[in-house]
Structure 1
Amino acid sequence: MMCSSFLLLLLPAIYIPTLMSDSWSSETVLSHKLDPDPNREKFIWNPFPGNCGLNASMVRCAGVCPETCRFKSQKCPQYCGVNCKCKSGYVFSDNLLKCILRQDCPSHIQQQVVETHRVFQ
């Protein structure tokens, strides 16, 4: 009985859909070993190793399109991405790989509001 209960608990974790679509659930975390993304070199894999840092908070599903000094997305694919989100007033610096105050962005960079600017894998 205990073994069958354990297997029932594991089923959602080991079930892999055979039909892939362009839209993943917001709880999906991609693994490059299992689901390689041919375009992943343009995305940042995990800029928060170990912890989120002083200017970010841990969340369950932070997404893949954080606001940066250069871009703010209007829409974003529903991927979980990393588990850290910049605190209010902070943006992700893709040069420094951490959250910085919006006012600390280089003065020569004018932020653009775009449809989608994906940063994280």
Structure 2
Amino acid sequence: MMCSSFLLLLLPAIYFPALMAESLPLETILGHDKNPDPTREKYIWNPFPGNCGLNASMVPCAGVCPETCSFKSEKCPQYCGVNCECIDGYVFSESLLKCILRQDCPINIPQQVVETYRVFQ
């Protein structure tokens, strides 16, 4: 009796992830060929070691496509990525590896709105 109760509790843990994986649209699983910056060779692993810094806050799942000086994503795959995100008014600077005011981005780099621009691993 105890074994069958355990199996009933375990069933949702087995069934729902499989169901979710089948129901995700294909574009949710990011194809790296859609990267708007084809010269990019590597993603950033974690630019916030230890703490988030002055211009970012800790969140459970910040995602992998933060707004940067160069790119703003319309959508992003639902991966957790790092646990910090820039606070309102700030964007992630890939060259400085920290959040800076949007107005402090280089003026010669216009920000492009793209479908997906993944920054973090």
Taking the aligned partners of 1:108 and 1:69, their CA distance within structure 2 comes to 10
Taking the aligned partners of 1:63 and 1:47, their CA distance within structure 2 comes to 13
TM-score norm. by structure 2 comes to: 0.68
Task: Report the equivalent of 1:75.
Answer: 75
Taking the aligned partners of 2:42 and 2:114, their CA distance within structure 1 comes to 17
2:45 maps to amino acid: W
**Are 1:88 and 2:105 counterparts?**
no
> Runs of 4 or more off by more than 3 Å in structure 1?
none
Taking the aligned partners of 2:42 and 2:77, their CA distance within structure 1 comes to 15
TM-score norm. by structure 1 comes to: 0.68
- Identity, % of aligned positions: 80
2:96 maps to amino acid: L
User: SS of the residue aligned with 2:119?
Assistant: coil
Unpaired runs of 5+ residues, structure 2, are 1-8, 25-40
Root-mean-square deviation (Å): 2.8
Taking the aligned partners of 1:105 and 1:111, their CA distance within structure 2 comes to 9
Question: 1:42: Cα distance to partner?
Answer: 1.7
Task: Report the equivalent of 1:61.
Answer: 61
